[in-house]
């Protein structure tokens, strides 16, 4: 299992954000949004939260997603990861782009 702390990331929303706040931020600020269920694996970490979990992709190489640290809370972070972006595009079940979900 990986460790988010070992990756270079940027915090978008601070620790203590709600799952709803994270989802709304991604939906409002990203043109390419993919939805996954809890338990989806990113960067060798399982993502937990209330479904649907929104993942935002930008510049084709950066992915923004909510991450929960047990006993600490949830925050929204952005990580550079071309391979993870490509995997999300292939394995996520639904996509919202330019206002439409498919």
The ranges assigned to domains in the chain are 4-95
- Looking at the predicted structure, is the pLDDT value of residue 30 above 60? yes
Residue of 79, 82, 77 whose CA lies nearest to 66: 77
- What are 61-94's pLDDT values in tens digits? 999 999 988 788 898 999 999 999 999 999 998 7
Q: How confident is the model at residue 97 (pLDDT cuts 50, 70, 90)?
A: low
Mean pLDDT across the stretch 29-35?
A: 95
Q: How confident is the model at residue 2 (pLDDT cuts 50, 70, 90)?
A: low
Tell me the backbone φ, ψ of residue 38, rounded to 5 degrees: -55, 145
Scored b (16 or more CB within 10 A) or e, 16-38 reads: ebebeebbebbeeebebbbbbee
- Token look-up 């993870």 returns 84
**Model pTM score:** 0.85
């Amino acid at each position: 299992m990986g460790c988010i702390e070992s990756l270079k990331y940027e915090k978008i929303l601070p620790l203590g954000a709600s799952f709803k706040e994270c989802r709304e931020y991604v939906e409002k600020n990203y043109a390419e949004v993919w939805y996954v269920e809890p338990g989806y694996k990113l960067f060798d970490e399982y993502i937990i939260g209330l479904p649907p979990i929104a993942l935002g992709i930008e510049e084709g190489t950066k992915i923004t997603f909510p991450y929960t640290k047990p006993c600490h809370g949830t925050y929204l972070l952005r990580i550079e990861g071309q391979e993870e972006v490509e995997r999300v595009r292939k394995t996520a079940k639904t996509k919202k782009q330019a206002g439409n979900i498919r």
